[in-house]
Structure 1
Amino acid sequence: MTEDRTITLVVVDDQATVREALAVMLGLAEDVAVVATATNGAEAVEAAGLHHPDVLLMDLNMPVMDGVEATGRIHRAEQDTAILVLTTFDDDESILAALHAGASGYLTKEADRATILHAVRTAAQGQAVLAPEVQRRLLTLASRATPAAPPNDLGVALTAREREILGLIGEGLRNREIAAKLVISEATVKTHINNLFAKADLHSRADAVRYALRNQRSGPEYQR
């Protein structure tokens, strides 16, 4: 979507008070239009197919169909819809399941309006959005990764620098922050990102985050 276009949003939560509060709260923003709400994953899939929203705000623990399964179905069918998880759960299993299913971001319900609204706007631009506590958990998981992890299914080889930048994207850093951390220019960072995106057939930073999680420190993508 372009930056000056209204972001269409679907809000999914089985708790009526939460769902309605989110819809009203986010709908007050001038650049956000809540086009539908849903009470479970099955309704979310239906709403996504009907409205093709820019962003879908997804709860995880719901009846009929949970948020992880719904995320997977929507991600496969609606490639242009960014799925942003908003849930009370921040355990490793829930985080990884949602991201592997295709979620573009993961927030907990402790997030305030400004944080959620920023996340919606960021997700709409194809960027990954991770709550600080989620980033910490992912870093912990990455530090525990061993050579026994599953090999990369894409069979591509990244350079050491591309691998390093991919890891920093997985941590949620922007280009400017990556450049500062690695003491290189932002233009150089963009060049490396373009190269690794082309090699791994990635189309957004959200894709890169999922790719980094799926191939933590193992497989042929880490060959020099």
Structure 2
Amino acid sequence: MKGAGGLPLAAWLATFRLLRRYHRYEVVNLEPLLRPGAKLIVGYHGRPLALDLCMLTVTLYEHLGYLPHGVAHGAFDRIPGMRAVADGLGFVTGDDPRLAEAVARGEHVLLQPGGTREGCRSFRHRYRVDWGERMGYLRLAVRYRLPIVPVGGSGMDDAYLGLNDGYALGRRVGMPARLPLWLGVGATGVWPASLPFPVKMTQWVGEPLTRHLEPGFDAGDRNAMLAVHHEVAGAVQALLDTARLGGPGPA
């Protein structure tokens, strides 16, 4: 896997640097992601495009010299031109063999298990982890021996006012590439032709979770996998709750 570069990277950095200023973005406890070694960053998917995590990738690029390798929506493989964008950003759309190359270089991987189901909900469902039993990220972490770093925060679900369950509506009407059909309102109109509301966003980074890397852990044991899955989801939810309450940083 080649590193990110070219026009996609330049556009990504410019866009999310501007949004960092717009949202007065800051990170609490970045240190776990600056330590040597590849890690799987597992985060909450805010409204509707996980802007906070996009801004986190830029902050990490400035510290580490590379863009973390995002595991993106499968639509990147199906919509003309999007594959080139994903390649230019160093993103993949699943357990791509190229991930092994990135991990061998000690580079982080970024994933949001909730995906568009979590990110494209209505205003009635905010700041609540909704992963169900999606454990693909955990199988990835076991396969590549990656510590899991949970990430949550505040502000991301206030950037747009969601009016419907976009994931469910997209499936109901048969949207291509399983894309959501989400209706949202921002500061200047209707999404996607609208700026987000200028809310402050604060990213909280937790300490690495390594229970799945302990000797004897069996990835084929569903109960063992579910126990770790619940631990990770609980850690992300705790960060979301603490960030919104303005409590002390991660222990």
TM norm. shorter chain > 0.5: no
The higher relative CO (CA closer than 8 Å, separation ≥ 6) is in 2
Structure-1-length-normalised TM-score: 0.31
Q: Which has the higher helix share?
A: 1
TM-score by length of 2: 0.29
